[in-house]
Amino acid sequence: MMNRLDYLIEYLLKEDPQYSEMEIPSDLQGKRDLFRALRNVRWPKPISEEFLRLQDEELQAQLLEKGVVELDDCRDVARYVSTDKQLLVWQGDITRLKVDAIVNAANSQMLGCFHPLHKCIDNAIHSAAGVQLREECYQLMLQQGHEEPTGQAKITKAYNLPCKYVIHTVGPIIPTGIPNLLQKEQLASCYRSIMQLADENHLDSVAFCCISTGEFRFPNQLAAEIAVQTVKDYLTEHPDSSIKQVVFNVFKDIDRDFYQRLL
């Protein structure tokens, strides 16, 4: 494991002259942190098949340590479930969920978070998926030719994540912490766009993160209300939807409590 990490770190250090003299930590966690940080700051570019093979081995080993959460397990431990059992709340690390798709709260570049070891969900998802995810997003953005508009969605493969796909969306940023009507509609549009994209790809299950909360400063309670109502409205308006299970994934206790009351 240590030799594998040493190879991966050395490869990334040699890619960029500014990091070439950086010292590799001696402990396992230090190596893993440096490996993640170097991938966080790496711009999409060609990479060797040997690197990808060893990276995938390392990320799969880390996933095994964290543990994969199957949808049935998620249902079993979920304390908050809608009366029809189609919607549920699960608190934990979204990168462990084995569902058809998880949702990533992206920025308008759609390339993931470039801040080393940042605790945002964008960083966590890209770090767990591997460098291939940023490369696929980069190709999508090259084809599009402009930044991703707020309220839309794009789907990619999931690579080393246990889910099948990642659906990326850019939520509204609320500098004042007080959203206006347009920003509320933009957040609702994120949820509608994701549901539509999931249906277009015949997905059975989707796990939402708390889009636009945290650093984007959308109020948590209002964001939860918009999320639940928009998803419920979509499922009502689309009785033939392929989506059979929606998971509202939360990390903070405050979000768990808001969704508990709503469901």
Measured in degrees and rounded to the nearest 5, phi and psi for residue 146 equal: -160, 165
Total count of domains within the chain: 2
Q: Which of the four pLDDT bands, split at 50, 70 and 90, describes residue 162?
A: very high
102, 42: one domain: no
Percentage of residues in the chain having pLDDT higher than 70: 96
Question: Tokens in use for 35?
Answer: 């490996």
Residues 141 and 178 in one domain: yes
Look at 12-21, 52-61, 113-122, 137-146 and tell me which has the smallest mean pLDDT. Answer: 12-21
Lowest-confidence pick of 18-27, 60-69, 117-126: 18-27
What pLDDT score was predicted for residue 84?
Answer: 66
Mean pLDDT, residues 107-123: 97
Helix (H, G, I), strand (E, B) or coil at 188: helix
Q: For the domain that residue 101 is a member of, what is the CATH number?
A: 3.40.220.10
Q: Is the pLDDT of residue 120 over 60?
A: yes
CB atoms within 10 A of CB 177: 9
Tokens of 201: 């790809």
Same domain, 243 and 141: yes
pLDDT band (50, 70, 90) for residue 80: low
Give the domain extent around 182.
Answer: 68-262
Q: How confident is the model at residue 263 (pLDDT cuts 50, 70, 90)?
A: confident
Which of 211, 197, 195 shows the shortest CA–CA distance to 106?
A: 211
User: Which one of 48, 65, 82 terminates a domain?
Assistant: 65
Does one domain contain both 128 and 167?
Answer: yes
Per-residue pLDDT tens over the stretch 19-35 = 878 899 999 999 999 99
* pLDDT above 80: residue 7: yes
Token pair 């998926």 is at which residue? 129
Looking at the fold, whether 43 and 110 belong to one and the same domain comes out as no
Clarify whether residues 48 and 116 are in a common domain.
no
Same domain, 101 and 223: yes
In this structure, the dihedral spanned by the alpha carbons of residues 114, 116, 121 and 127, taken in order and rounded to 10 degrees, is 90
Instruction: Give pLDDT, residue 158.
Output: 98
Q: Is residue 206 within 8 Å of residue 167, measured between CB atoms?
A: yes
Structure-block tokens of residue 221:
């309670």
Torsion angle, CA of 257/258/262/263, rounded to 10 degrees? -40
Q: How far is CA 217 from the centre of its chain?
A: 18
* 117 and 198, same domain (yes or no): yes
When pLDDT is cut at 50, 70 and 90, the band that residue 75 belongs to is confident
73 plus 54 within the same structural domain: no
